[in-house]
């Protein structure tokens, strides 16, 4: 191996990278091998780091990011120069956008040639290309700086608002030798990488005062709250104050969806009527209508718990900002809270309960209908039934209708089990997230994928089979993006822009790699196939026939399409 040093008293860049990762408890690498990092992957594996090799760097990056979200340790993604590096850049940017800690370590070509643009193999100024998409981007130019470079990358990934960090390792640094003692001394074990950030006591007091005046308070739990792993304290605060809560999609399960204080089933009413809203690790971005009317009351006051001070007043004035880490902030709130200080009006709780009941009944009617072919509700109702008894299963979810309807239909009962398209509404995360979750947790995963969403990184089915991961991929095959019944409106022979192959035999893809394929055409068959697949613990893919006319354009966010007199809707 190229990573072998000539003498036992010498070390080199490859060894130093692996030693630095191990020293910091980073025990898994998600990547794609090639020049100049192949031997880095081999050496890592030889020295006890788990290496998961992917088909495409984007999935490797997504796996690293979600592993970071689940473990609070930066997930490590390893890429080759230029194109491999760029392939992972969507995942790195997505991690930064969502606040998932990851480090993309990439090999790079000869600096002298790259900087003069003399045409090296896989030439690209990677560090500068990464900067706009990363929380931080660093390059290590000397082997003795590998330890400090990784330390800086770790801190940047997990302290404050977590995010994606880029670490550039030129081939020359990986191959460079150093005497072993100097090398060992250069390594850094990061002490307390995620230091607690205590909120100012006066900000805690102010927040409680604002909440105490509320008649119709509402707590919104975001994925920052889920990430913080302060589950017991958050639940205690919600229950002690009696404030109704609404989970953002990846915060579902932080408190169980069937908790009596959950207002998920009365979402729009709760947003519109609340007079004081407490955001815990959730941003007032597009997913919350930027906090503006008509979705929200124009007079509502906001309390916000966030680690990022600049998040305050980002979209709407925040009456009581509490800047700190959520675990510390919630615990400080509980410590200062006096019994009976916060009392939502009972009429508020009754109104919400009534709306909730109404909407739950409406949903039950949808779920009970048994149309042929299946629509999204009947298929998801079957999956909901199977997963109800298995709350430990991770649920990965992407698509448009497949995403929006599954989020509403499938209850979560444990924290951090729902992983989805998140802040960007990005497609192509499903396979990487499923693999990252399965590898990081050892637990089973069900990935509910729109047929379009699945296609972005569907080849990772091979990765799932190669590593024997307990992942069941359910493809909601409605023959297209949003719907499968659109036509070429010019009358030409090509299919319309949103059309995919309805007759596609997705289940055969996994059979090519030794996994088990199933077809489901009714809820009963779907429930049985999913139950069997989960019980087997083996990689499986369910091709699930969904009515091509059942979906709506862009799912629940069709209003975001620009209005056009040319494009005619169905
Ligand atoms: P959602 O999409 O669920 O609404 P967002 O990703 O928009 O959630 O918001 C998460 C917020 O949580 C971010 O503003 C981030 O800064 C914050 N955050 C993440 N981790 C922590 C933490 N440990 N403590 C405090 N705030 C955090
Ligand atoms: N590319 C990327 C990376 N992200 C995107 N969000 C899109 C394209 C646009 N897009 C959506 O917003 S949803 C979607 C695309 C292509 C696919 C929807 O089709 P689906 O789901 O089959 O996955 P449904 O159930 O048919 O709606
Ligand atoms: Mg589809």
Residues 224 and 75 in one domain: no
In three-state secondary structure terms, 546 is strand
Question: 421, 427, 546: which to mutate for ligand 2, most atoms within 8 A of CB?
Answer: 427
Average pLDDT over residues 133-145: 98
Tokens of 459: 């080849």
pLDDT(567) > 80: no
Residue 565: predicted pLDDT: 56
Residue 228: predicted pLDDT: 98
* 279 vs 164: CA distance, rounded Å: 24
- For ligand 1, what atom is nearest to the CA of residue 224? 12
**Does residue 359 fall inside a structural domain?**
no
Residue 570: predicted pLDDT: 43
Angle in degrees, CA 535, 510, 470, rounded to 5: 35
Nearest CA to ligand 1 atom 18: 224
Residue 7: predicted pLDDT: 74
Residues 379 and 527 in one domain: yes
**Does residue 326 fall inside a structural domain?**
yes
- Find out whether the beta carbon of 62 lies less than 6 Å from any atom of ligand 2: no
> Over the stretch 104-134, which tens digit does the pLDDT of each residue have?
999 999 999 999 999 999 999 999 999 999 9
- Find out whether the beta carbon of 481 lies less than 6 Å from any atom of ligand 2: yes
Residues 396 and 476 in one domain: yes
- Ligand 2 centre and the CA of 452: distance in Å? 6
Task: Give the structural domain span for 306.
Answer: 201-353
Helices vs. strands in the chain: H and E counts, helices first: 22, 19
Average pLDDT over residues 291-300: 95
- The count of structural domains within the chain is 3
Question: 198, 255, 306: which to mutate for ligand 1, most atoms within 8 A of CB?
Answer: 306
Residues 138 and 256 in one domain: no
- Find out whether the beta carbon of 544 lies less than 6 Å from any atom of ligand 2: no
Residues 348 and 456 in one domain: no
Kindly report the CATH number assigned to the domain that includes residue 228. Answer: 3.40.50.1220
Final residue belonging to a domain, choices 159, 186, 213:
186
**Does residue 191 fall inside a structural domain?**
no
**Does residue 193 fall inside a structural domain?**
no
* 449 vs 108: CA distance, rounded Å: 34
- Ligand 3 centre and the CA of 515: distance in Å? 23
Tokens of 210: 């604002």
Angle in degrees, CA 429, 533, 250, rounded to 5: 35
Residues 166 and 208 in one domain: no
- For ligand 1, what atom is nearest to the CA of residue 250? 3
* 302 vs 438: CA distance, rounded Å: 37
Residues with CB under 6 A from ligand 1: 98-99, 161, 222-224, 227-228, 248, 250-251, 281-283, 285, 287, 306-308, 311, 325-326, 423
Residues 332 and 251 in one domain: yes
What HEC string does 478-531 produce?
A: CCECCCCCCCCCCCCCCCCCCECCCCCCHHHHHHCCCCEEEEECCHHHHHHHHH
Residues 142 and 250 in one domain: no
Residues 345 and 453 in one domain: no
How far lies 100's CA from each of 61, 69, 422, 457, in Å?
11, 5, 11, 20
Kindly report the CATH number assigned to the domain that includes residue 564. Answer: 3.40.50.970
Residues 342 and 451 in one domain: no
**Does residue 490 fall inside a structural domain?**
yes
**Does residue 461 fall inside a structural domain?**
yes
Nearest CA to ligand 1 atom 16: 161
Residue 563: predicted pLDDT: 82
Residues 148 and 213 in one domain: no
pLDDT(332) > 70: yes
Exposure string of 120-146, with b = 16+ CB inside 10 Å and e = fewer, is: bebbbbbbebbeebbbbbbbbeebbbb
- Ligand 1 centre and the CA of 222: distance in Å? 6
Residues 164 and 248 in one domain: no
Final residue belonging to a domain, choices 299, 327, 353:
353
Residue 8: predicted pLDDT: 77
Nearest CA to ligand 1 atom 6: 98
pLDDT(566) > 70: no
């Amino acid at each position: 191996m190229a990573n072998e040093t000539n003498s036992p008293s010498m070390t080199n860049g490859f060894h130093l990278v692996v030693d630095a990762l191990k020293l910091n408890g980073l025990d898994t690498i998600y990547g794609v091998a090639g020049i100049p990092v192949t031997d880095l992957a081999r050496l890592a594996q030889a020295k006890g780091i788990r290496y998961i090799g992917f088909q495409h760097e984007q999935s490797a990056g997504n796996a690293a990011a979600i592993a970071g979200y689940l473990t609070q340790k930066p997930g490590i993604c390893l890429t080759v120069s230029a194109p491999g590096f760029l392939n992972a850049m969507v995942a790195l940017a997505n991690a930064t956008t969502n606040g998932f800690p990851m480090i993309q370590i990439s090999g790079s070509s000869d600096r002298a040639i790259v900087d003069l643009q003399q045409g090296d193999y896989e030439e690209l100024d990677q560090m500068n290309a990464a900067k706009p998409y990363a929380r931080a981007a660093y390059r290590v130019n000397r082997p003795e700086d590998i330890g400090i470079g990784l330390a800086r990358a770790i801190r940047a990934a997990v302290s404050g608002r977590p995010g994606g960090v880029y670490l550039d390792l030129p081939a020359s640094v990986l191959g460079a030798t150093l005497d072993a003692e100097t090398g060992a001394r250069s390594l850094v074990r990061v002490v307390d990488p995620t230091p607690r950030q205590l909120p100012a006591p006066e900000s805690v007091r102010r927040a409680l005062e604002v909440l105490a005046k509320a008649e119709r308070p509402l707590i919104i739990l975001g994925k920052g709250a889920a990430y913080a792993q302060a589950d017991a304290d958050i639940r205690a605060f919600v229950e002690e104050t009696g404030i109704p809560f609404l989970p953002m999609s990846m915060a579902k399960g932080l408190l169980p969806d069937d908790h009596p204080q959950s207002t998920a089933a009365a979402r729009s009413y709760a947003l519109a009527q609340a007079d004081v809203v407490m955001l815990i690790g959730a941003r007032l971005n597009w997913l919350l209508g930027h906090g503006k009317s008509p979705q929200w009351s124009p007079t509502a006051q906001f309390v916000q718990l966030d680690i990022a001070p600049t998040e305050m007043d980002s979209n709407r004035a925040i009456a009581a900002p509490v800047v700190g880490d959520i675990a510390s902030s919630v615990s400080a709130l509980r410590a200062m809270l006096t019994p009976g200080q916060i009392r939502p009006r009972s009429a508020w709780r009754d109104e919400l309960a009534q709306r909730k009941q109404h909407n739950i009944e409406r949903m039950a009617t949808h779920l009970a209908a048994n149309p042929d072919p299946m629509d999204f509700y009947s298929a998801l109702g079957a999956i909901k039934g199977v997963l109800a008894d298995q709350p430990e299963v991770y649920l990965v979810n992407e698509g448009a209708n497949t995403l929006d309807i599954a989020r509403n239909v499938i209850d979560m009962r444990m924290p951090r089990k729902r992983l989805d398209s998140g802040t960007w509404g990005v497609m192509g995360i499903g396979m990487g997230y499923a693999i990252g979750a399965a590898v990081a947790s050892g637990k089973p995963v069900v990935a509910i994928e729109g047929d379009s969403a699945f296609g972005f990184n569907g080849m990772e089915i091979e990765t799932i089979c190669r590593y024997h991961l307990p992942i069941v991929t359910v493809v909601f095959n409605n023959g297209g993006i949003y719907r499968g019944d659109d036509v070429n409106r010019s009358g030409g022979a090509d299919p319309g822009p949103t059309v995919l192959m309805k007759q596609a035999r997705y289940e055969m893809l996994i059979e090519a790699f030794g996994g088990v394929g199933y077809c489901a055409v009714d809820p009963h068959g779907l429930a049985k196939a999913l139950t069997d697949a989960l019980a087997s613990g083996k990689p499986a893919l369910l091709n699930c026939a969904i009515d091509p006319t059942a979906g709506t354009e862009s799912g629940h966010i069709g209003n975001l399409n620009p209005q056009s007199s040319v494009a005619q809707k169905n």
